[in-house]
Amino acid sequence: MVDTNADHDLIDEPQGPAESEGQAPTLKAFSLLQAVARSERPLSMAELSILLGMPKPTAYRIARMLERDGLLEREAGGRRYVAGRKLLGFAMEIVTASVRSAPRHAILETVSRQLGETANLGVMVANHVVYIDRVESAWPFGLRFEPGSRVPLHCTAMGKLFLSAQPRARQEQILGKVPLERYTENTITDPQRLLRELESIRAAGLGVDNQEFLAGVVCVAAPVVDASGATIAAIAISAPQARMNMNQAVQHAPLLRAAAQRLAETLALPAPERLAPERQTEAPPAPRPRRAARRG
């Protein structure tokens, strides 16, 4: 079994023929960042080495360099790697710029115009939901959140939708780290009750916020799913409860799901190679030596 937790101070070794003839250093660094970004959980050095087919000393050297530059971080209290704040910020700048100049913004405008309410597009970044685009309603009373704004996971429609798509172990891990702050009387702060809520949301395929984040405001969200079936974003509508109650908001699910499908088509992302959450990473078995054939 490979030691997936120990990251020893490895000495840089001279590059052998296979390494020197392989990817350029820049491409190796990009491949490592891509593996971390695509994974559904933090990755250890041994897992990165195996996933990338890269010698562990090389992977370690590149990871340490990326960590110093803020592109990678160690998970809290552990040695596995996650995307760093600098990388997340860079990614958000790219996504926000592309969204606002692409057909995706027009889809949000159409949803907002059809329902007369605010339409949002968001992604899960670390332990928050980040708005990457938003079209405000034409009503005088509006909820003013700019693209790039962060909102909690545990009490928002998009946040609970993202959480519901995670494996149960990952849900418990996130809820154990994120403070379940009470924002309104309706905010769910009990972890077990929230886990049951996530089961219902996963079954329905629709996230709901019944005045849990902002008093007097309801929200419903549908997932934007990529070619691999992973939830990569969410589209949501939010409105004052005085104009749209929770039952009325849920009735707009077909329109939201249709918009989510159109958004997924604009993304046109190929199915990424993901490391399964429950996969046990082991070293490949050593080849058995072949016996020399006997000569008669």
pLDDT tens for residues 215-264?
999 999 999 998 888 898 999 999 999 999 999 999 999 999 999 999 98
Show the beta-strand stretches assigned E in 41-176.
72-74, 81-83, 118-125, 128-135, 150-151
SS3 assignment, position 255: helix
> What is the rounded CA–CA span in Å between residue 155 and residue 194?
9
Can you tell me the distance from the alpha carbon of 222 to that of 88, in angstroms, rounded to the nearest whole number? Answer: 23
* List of domains in the chain: 22-83 (1.10.10.10), 87-267 (3.30.450.40)
pLDDT over 90 (residue 199): yes
Q: Is 269 helix (H, G, I), strand (E, B) or coil?
A: coil
Q: Which residues contact 48 (CB under 8 A, 6 or more apart)?
A: 32, 35, 36, 54, 59, 63, 81
Angle at 121 between CA 101 and CA 202, to 5 degrees: 145
pLDDT at 24: 63
Question: Looking at the predicted structure, is the pLDDT value of residue 91 above 50?
Answer: yes
Judged on CB neighbours under 10 Å (0-12, 13-18, 19+), 18 is: exposed
Report the mean per-residue pLDDT for the chain: 78
Cβ-contact 219, 129 below 8 angstroms: no
Looking at residue 294, its pLDDT comes to: 47
> Tell me, what's the pLDDT at 256?
97
pLDDT top residue among 260 and 53 = 260
pLDDT given for residue 153 in this prediction: 95
| HSE of 88, CA atoms in CB hemisphere, 13 A | 16
pTM (two decimals)? 0.62
